[in-house]
Amino acid sequence: MNLMNNSDILFLFMAAPFISAAILILVGDRKPAPEINIAGSAATFAAGVALAIEYCAKGPMMNFGHLFFVDALNIYLAVLTSFVAMTTAVFSRKYMRQEREHGRVGHAAMRYYHVMYQMFIFSMILALMSNNIGILWIATELATLATVLLVSLYRTPTAIEAAWKYFILCGVGIAIALFGTVLVYFAAEKVLGEGGEAMLWTNLNMVSGKLEPTILSLAFVFLMVGYGTKVGLVPLHNWLPDAHSEGPTPISALLSGLLLNIALYSLVRCKALVDGSTHTDFAGSMMMAFGIMSILVAGFSILRQKDIKRMFAYSSIEHMGIATFGFGLGGPLGTFAALLHLLVHSLTKSAVFYTAGHAALMHGTQEMDKIRGLFKGNPLVGWSLMLGVMALAGMPPFGIFTTEFLILTATIQQAPLWAPFLLIGLAVAFAGLIRVVQPMVSGEVPDYQKPVAAAHLPVLVHLAIVLIIGLYIPDFLNQWFNTAVEMLK
C-alpha cells in the first residue's frame, strides 16, 4: 500500500456524520432537523464517492499514521453504507413525521433519533475505514450503543425488552470478540513486536504466514461467535427479530442493510488471516456451517411469522447466512458472489423495509393477516412490496438471483455435499416469502386502511439498481470486486 498525504477526503468522509450529530444536538426537534439529517447524510455520501474516485485514480491508501486505510474491500462497503444512509434519511423524513403526529414519539425521542442516526453512521464508517483491529472493535461497540437507543425509541414494554435483549446478547458477543482480538494481537506481537504496529490489518496481512496457526485458529473461534452474534447467524440470532420488529422502520432498514454487513466484514478480514496462517479450510468450514444453519433455520422460521417486520428480519438472517456461506466457500466465484450479495441484499432489504413501514402505517398494524388490498389502496406501495419481495426471494432478473445462482454453482463445483442443504434453504425461504406477500397486496381494501404520505423515491431507486445489477454489472464494480477477491484469497 502506498502512503498518501492527501487525507482531506477521508477526514471529511469520517467527520461528516459526527459533525451532523453535533449540529442536531443543538437543533433538537425543531423543524429543520429532518432536512439537516438528510443534508448530513448526503454530505457523507458525496465524500464517500469522492474517496472512491480517489481510490480508482491512485489505488490503495493509508492515512493518519496508518490508523485508517482504503482498499477495494472497504471502499465499496463504505460507499454502500453512506448511500443507504442517505436514502434512508430521505425516507425517514416523512415516516418519522407521521410517527410524531400519531403520538408514538415525542420531542426528546426525536432528538435522540436524529443524533443517534448520525452517530450510528459514524460508527459504521469508522469500523470500515479502520486499519486497527482495536479501533474496529471499539467502533462496533459504539454502533451497538447507538442502536440500543434507537431500537427502544418508542418506549413501549416490548421495545424496551427488545433493546435490552439486543444490548445484552450483542454486548456479550462483542466481549467474546474482544478476547479473540487479544489473541490475534498475542500472535502478532511475536512477529511484529509490541505496540500498535501489531494491530494493523495491513501489517497482519503481510505476515499472516508467520503467525502461530494454533493461536489464530482459537482466536477465530471467539471472533466467529462474537462478530457472528452481530451478524445474526444461527444460533446467535435471538436478538435480531425483536430489534428489527420493535424499532422504527428506518432503523430496521439500517440494521438489516448495513450493520450486519459491518460485522461480516470483520469476520472476512479475520478469515483471511487464519487462512494465511493455517493453510487449511478451518475458518471457511466454520463459516459454511454457520451459514447453512442460518439459511435453513431462517427459511423455515419465515413460514411461521405473523409480524411483517419480524418476517423480513428472519429473511435478513437467511441472506447473511448465504453471504457467510459464500465467503466460507471461498474461491474466486464464491467470494465474488458473496461480495455482490452484500450489495444487492442491502439495497433490496432496505427498500422492502421502507415499503413494509408504509403498509404498517396504512393499516395501523404490523400483523400480516390484517394488511390487505395494497394494489387497490395504494398501487405504488403494493407493487413496491411485491417487486421487493420477488427480488428478495431470488427471482430473475433481480441481482439476488444472480448471486444465489453463482453461490450455488460454486458450491456444486467445490463442495457438492453442501448443495442439497443450500437448495432446501433457498427453496423454503422462496416459498415462504411469496406465500405471505400475495394476500397482502391482493384483495379488497379493508375499511381501516388509511392513506399514507409515502416516500416512494428511495424504494424505486433501490429496486432499480438491484434490477440493473441483475442484468449488467458495471465494469468499475466488477473491477472492485475482482480486486477484493484477490486480496481475500
List, for residues 104-158, the tens digit of each pLDDT value: 777 788 888 999 999 999 999 999 999 999 999 999 999 988 888 888 888 888 8
**Nearest C-alpha neighbor of 431 from the set 470, 394, 387:** 394
Query: At CA 390, angle to CA 315 and CA 423, rounded to 5?
Result: 60
Q: What is the pLDDT of residue 312?
A: 93
CA distance linking residue 114 with residue 40, whole number of Å: 11
Asked whether the predicted pLDDT for residue 1 surpasses 60, the reply is no
Asked whether the predicted pLDDT for residue 377 surpasses 50, the reply is yes
Q: What is the pLDDT of residue 8?
A: 81
Q: What is the pLDDT of residue 450?
A: 86
Q: What is the pLDDT of residue 5?
A: 45
Q: What is the pLDDT of residues 404-431, one digit of tens each?
A: 999 999 999 999 999 999 999 999 999 9
Mean pLDDT of 55-77: 87
Mean pLDDT of 227-244: 90
Mean pLDDT of 176-185: 94
Asked whether the predicted pLDDT for residue 329 surpasses 70, the reply is yes
Mean pLDDT of 310-332: 94
Q: What is the pLDDT of residues 81-92, one digit of tens each?
A: 999 999 999 999
CA distance linking residue 139 with residue 79, whole number of Å: 17
Q: What is the pLDDT of residue 7?
A: 61
Q: What is the pLDDT of residue 262?
A: 93
Q: What is the pLDDT of residue 2?
A: 46
| Average pLDDT of the chain, as a whole number | 90
Q: What is the pLDDT of residue 417?
A: 94
CA distance linking residue 239 with residue 461, whole number of Å: 30
Lowest mean pLDDT among 101-110, 233-242, 298-307: 101-110
